[in-house]
């Protein structure tokens, strides 16, 4: 079956530091990959996505590149802000067994805290 593994947190950084959150996946098909962000007390929001190998998703200064050869989709940001403090989820979407519906599989989430 499909699975997503992301680095365990929590991750604590100072403002303007470089961020990397690792994400690797296993999938039987050709998945699309996503990063979602969850701010305290809220639901998840889509941060960025990539639908095929070598695609780069980007949004709000965050980037992630779909690497099929290493089955990875690491999240990066060059200079984090206090407002980036949140939980980040890596996820993949692939056709479920039977091939009729797409199923989303989430990683366990990584808590990021950015201090001023």
Q: Does 101 bind another protein (CB under 8 A)?
A: yes
Residue whose tokens read 């365990």 = 8
Q: Does 11 bind another protein (CB under 8 A)?
A: no
Total of chain residues touching another protein, rule CB under 8 A: 20
Q: Does 57 bind another protein (CB under 8 A)?
A: no
CA distance 114 to 116: 7
CB atoms within 10 A of CB 28: 10
Interface residue with another protein among 75, 107, 112, 114 (CB under 8 A) is 107
Minimum CB–partner distance for residue 102 and another protein (Å): 5
Q: Does 3 bind another protein (CB under 8 A)?
A: no
CA torsion through residues 18, 56, 4, 108, sign: positive
Residue closest to 90 by CA, chosen among 113, 72, 67: 72
Interface residue with another protein among 17, 59, 85, 106 (CB under 8 A) is 106
CA distance 75 to 90: 9
CB atoms within 10 A of CB 21: 23
Interface residue with another protein among 21, 50, 86, 93 (CB under 8 A) is 93
List residues near another protein by CB under 8 A: 32, 34, 36, 41-46, 49, 51, 89, 93, 101-102, 104, 106-109
């Amino acid at each position: 079956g499909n699975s997503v593994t992301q680095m365990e947190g929590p991750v604590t950084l100072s403002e303007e530091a470089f961020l990397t959150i690792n994400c690797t996946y296993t999938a039987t098909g050709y998945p699309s990959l996503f990063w979602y962000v969850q701010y305290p007390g809220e639901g998840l929001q889509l941060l960025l996505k990539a639908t095929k190998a070598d695609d780069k998703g980007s949004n709000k200064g965050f980037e992630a590149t779909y690497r099929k050869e290493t089955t990875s989709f690491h999240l990066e940001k060059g200079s984090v802000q206090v407002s980036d403090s949140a939980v980040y989820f890596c996820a993949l979407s692939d056709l479920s067994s039977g091939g009729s519906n797409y199923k989303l599989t989430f990683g366990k989430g990584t808590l990021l805290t950015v201090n001023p």
